[in-house]
Amino acid sequence: MLQSTEVIPSKPSRVVTPTVQVRALASTLPLDDIKPCIETRELTALFDNTAAVKNVTMTVPQRAVTAIIGPSGCGKSTLLRCFNRMHETVPGARVEGFVAVLGTSIYGDGTSPIAVRRHVGMVFQRPTPFPTMSIRNNVLAGLRVDSRLRESRENVDGIVEEALQRAGLWAEVKDRLNESAMALSGGQQQRLCIARALATRPRVILLDEPTASLDPLSTQKVEELVYELRNTVSVVIVTHNMQQAARVSDRTAFLLAGELVELTSTRELFTAPADERTEAYITGRFG
Amino acid sequence: MRTARSRHIVSGGMIGLTYVAAALATLPLLLILLHLVRKGASSLSLDFFTRMPQPVGEMGGGMANAIVGTLVLIGIASLIGLPVGIGAGLYLAEKRSTKLAHIVRFLSDVLNGLPSIVVGIFAWEFLVKPVGHFSALAGGIALGTMMIPLVTRTTEEMLKVVPNSLREAALALGYQRWRTSLSIVLRTAMAGIATGALVAVARIAGETAPLLFTAFGNQFWSLSPGQPIAALPLQIFTYAVSPYDEWHRLAWAGALVLIAMVLVISILARVATRSRFGAPVD
């Protein structure tokens, strides 16, 4: 169980009084020594000729949860979608700059966006199970488009179980794997989408406001899940909820009007932000 | 200021008028059905479905060849209309705002509004005249041409209902674009597309004009696509304009069977829609 978060009313003082409490870091990994999972240099993402993300240079460590926070429209989702080349699927959208996942440039010549997306999982704001598929086939969907499933056909049941276990959904659905995914509740559907993303064993998983359409109880389950996942996979989570960032992440990036203001350990960002704008945002003075 | 009472009276009157309009809208269908049943039911028998047309002067006989002929024509038309229509609908839905999509959408609407006799003349010019004789194939192609715009637009509408988030989810899993379109988007909308296809079939099943100089009609048994073929609407037309009472009787029965076929297809379409339209409302 995660600690509950107390909200302290903010005072407009120079002394920072964060509105969120930060949980103690349970991770034993020394964050600064970790080889980067995602690295960007001067990353700019444009819609037609308007830049939604401007000149972002950042590194995301492996086996940790990195949160991206910021006010609505600051470009956090756009930034996330540059990490698996989903940004360019929107007509008129393009990306400039450098992005590498685990040391490989994903925008390099000859790099196929399909291959990138098969190695970087993504979960969206609204649950998106495929309505024509059973729970089981939903989990396998990502593998079936890949040739990898054919090699390990005998172990399909094992893959399904492992993915659902990791998504914390196995106990709830193990007796109805062949039922339609649409019969699940919203929170279960979202965890099914996480299982579907995990089934291909990605090294990174991108969560785009994964709890925005869920009730508090389902939100808590997903948050606990994200907290667990950091032991096996790198997670980048976009959230408009600062408390959530404080609860689940090891590092937090604050984005404002497309620019990266600050990226540091979550504890530091919420207790001693280096930038005035970060402080103003986390104390609730705008956004 | 009007009183509450007068407002209630006006409101009641207006609601009454909408009831009258609703009744008038369904009245023609009811009258036609009633009339057909009265005139045609007495001539309906097993013979009508199993026997061939008889020469003038002989009593009895049926329209077995015309019923089967109509099914053959619907089959040929579907072979052309469904793949082309669904494919074009998929294109319009997935490439929504390209210039070509706008042009295709517009032309499809024009084709939909084209008088069916024009489609028939077109088929005659290119499929009958060069060959030198009428054929089931020409009739089927004429009907298929009429199906294309119907299927295209319903397919597009059904695909547009599929939430974009599903497309994104598939792409993010590493689906290629074509695979996303076929195995996620199209499959999600399949029940709705099937309904649209059935509605299009019901619509063309009763067409007469495009068949007049393509399929032509046939008093004999034929299943060959290269030969003229009998069709219910043609047979009804031929019998109805004849001077013989016996043929008039059979024409009424034929009309009843034709409308029953269309009704059954329409009901099937409704059931198909209700059973499972999987896409979530987003």
Domain boundaries of chain B, sorted by first residue: 67-231
Q: Distance from B42 to chain A by nearest Cα, in Å? A: 47
Chain B residue with Cα closest to A114: B174
* Strand (E) or helix (H) holding B274: helix B245-275
- 3-state secondary structure (DSSP) of residue B2: coil
Residue B210 tokens read as 């495009």
Residues 6+ apart with CB under 8 A from A174: A161, A164
Q: Distance from A129 to chain B by nearest Cα, in Å? A: 8
Q: pLDDT tens for residues B42-75?
A: 888 888 888 888 887 777 788 889 999 999 999 9
Average pLDDT, chain A: 85
CA-based diameter of chain B, in Å?
77
Phi, psi of A45 (to 5 degrees): -115, 130
Q: Distance from B240 to chain A by nearest Cα, in Å? A: 49
Q: What is the DSSP string of B56-75?
A: TT------HHHHHHHHHHHH
Residue B187 tokens read as 């499959």
Residue A198: per-residue pLDDT: 92
Residue B94: per-residue pLDDT: 87
For the domain made up of A33-282, the CATH class stated in words is: alpha beta
> Nearest Cβ partner of B174 from A89, A118, A182?
A118
Q: Per-residue pLDDT for B274 more than 80?
A: no
Task: Report yes or no: A197 and A123 within 8 Å, Cβ to Cβ.
Answer: yes
Q: Which amino acid is at B73?
A: L
| ipTM confidence score | 0.83
Residue A14: per-residue pLDDT: 45
> Nearest Cβ partner of B174 from A124, A126, A145?
A145
Q: pLDDT tens for residues A1-18?
A: 444 444 444 444 444 444
Chain B residue with Cα closest to A134: B278
Alpha-carbon distance B167 to A130, whole Å? 10
Chain A residue with Cα closest to B184: A130
Q: Per-residue pLDDT for A210 more than 70?
A: yes
Q: What is the CATH topology of the domain spanning B67-231? A: MetI-like fold (1.10.3720)
Q: Is A197 on the interface with B (CB under 8 A)?
A: yes
> Nearest Cβ partner of A132 from B171, B173, B188?
B188
Angle at A148 between CA A122 and CA B176, to 5 degrees: 55
Q: Is B96 on the interface with A (CB under 8 A)?
A: no
Residue A242 tokens read as 């600062």
Q: Per-residue pLDDT for B179 more than 60?
A: yes
Average pLDDT rounded to a whole number, residues B6-18: 94
Across A151-155, A209-213, A242-246, A266-270, least confident range? A151-155
> Nearest Cβ partner of B165 from A124, A132, A146?
A124
Residue A179 tokens read as 């039922």
Exposure b/e, B65-97, CB count within 10 A at least 16 = b: bbbbbbebbbebbbebbbebbbebbbbbbbeee
Q: pLDDT tens for residues A129-160?
A: 999 899 999 999 988 887 665 655 667 888 89
Residue A161: per-residue pLDDT: 92
Q: Distance from A198 to chain B by nearest Cα, in Å? A: 10
Q: Is A90 on the interface with B (CB under 8 A)?
A: no
Q: Tell me if A142 and B173 make a contact (CB, 8 A cut-off).
A: yes
Chain A interface, mutation test: which of B97, B167, B173, B281, most A Cβ atoms within 10 Å? B173
Residue A153: per-residue pLDDT: 62
> Nearest Cβ partner of A86 from B168, B279, B282?
B168
Size of interface A-B (CB pairs under 8 A): 65
Q: Tell me if A122 and B172 make a contact (CB, 8 A cut-off).
A: yes
Q: Is B172 on the interface with A (CB under 8 A)?
A: yes
Residue B236 or residue A24, greater confidence: B236
| Percent of chain A at pLDDT exceeding 70 | 85
Q: Per-residue pLDDT for B85 more than 90?
A: yes
Q: Per-residue pLDDT for A226 more than 80?
A: yes
Chain A residue with Cα closest to B164: A128
Q: Per-residue pLDDT for B202 more than 80?
A: yes
Alpha-carbon distance A33 to A27, whole Å? 13
Residue A273 tokens read as 């932000």
Provide the chain B residues 136-165 that lie in CB contact (below 8 A) with chain A: 163, 165
Q: pLDDT tens for residues A62-98?
A: 889 999 999 988 999 999 999 999 999 998 899 999 9
Q: Is A141 on the interface with B (CB under 8 A)?
A: yes
Q: Strand order of the sheet with strand A259-265?
A: A120-123, A204-208, A234-238, A65-69, A251-256, A259-265
Q: Distance from B202 to chain A by nearest Cα, in Å? A: 27
Q: Distance from A231 to chain B by nearest Cα, in Å? A: 22
Q: Is B98 on the interface with A (CB under 8 A)?
A: no
pTM of the shown model: 0.78
Contacts of B166 in chain A (CB under 8 A): 128, 130-131
Alpha-carbon distance A66 to B26, whole Å? 63
Residue A47 tokens read as 């819609």
Alpha-carbon distance A217 to A222, whole Å? 9
| Percent of chain B at pLDDT exceeding 70 | 96
Residue A134: per-residue pLDDT: 92
